[in-house]
Amino acid sequence: MPTFNLKINNKTYSVEADMDTPLLWILRDQIDLVGTKYGCGIGQCGSCTVHIDGNAMRSCLLLVSQLEGMSITTIEGLSENGDSPVQEAWKEIDVPQCGYCQSGQIMTASAFLKRNPNPSESEIRNAMHGNICRCASYNSIEKAIKVAAKK
């Protein structure tokens, strides 16, 4: 079985896996970074969103063999103490209901705000449209992103 060296949250991990193993399962099963959630397995829900070189991407669709040399950030690596502006805004607005999708929502929002620090409502909706929330917390999510943009 091949070995891959992955830079995750500024640490290098050497993992053995089949070439077509999705990053999601490497994170959860081999490295024990379980903040990244399995939702649908087909890249439609956004629960498994991580940052690859700063871009929000679905870890269920990324093959481990594609990621050597790239910087991978999970929800655990977004901030050392869970205090990134987006995470702080999420707490301030009390966004989560069941919470399952929230790590993916936060990862998508934080990558978006790095590219667009002063977004309009329609830009927020467009950026977040690919993340599904089963509890329909969309209004709270949008409000938290507006708060985070001001931080």
Number of domains in the chain: 2
The pLDDT of residue 126 is 97
- Among residues 77, 107, 126, the one where a domain terminates is 77
Residues 70 and 94 in one domain: no
Distance in angstroms (rounded) separating the CA atoms of residues 129 and 46: 10
CATH code of the domain covering residue 44: 3.10.20.30
Half-sphere exposure of 1 (CA within 13 A, CB side): 9
Residues 89 and 72 in one domain: no
Query: Tokens standing for 13?
Result: 């991990």
Low-confidence ranges of the chain (pLDDT < 70): none
Residues 60 and 12 in one domain: yes
Distance in angstroms (rounded) separating the CA atoms of residues 126 and 41: 22
> Which residue range(s) make up the domain with 56?
3-77
Query: Tokens standing for 71?
Result: 């910087």
Residues 89 and 143 in one domain: yes
Residues 90 and 108 in one domain: yes
Sign of CA pseudo-dihedral 13, 85, 80, 38:
negative
The pLDDT of residue 11 is 98
- Among residues 77, 106, 134, the one where a domain terminates is 77
Residues 64 and 91 in one domain: no
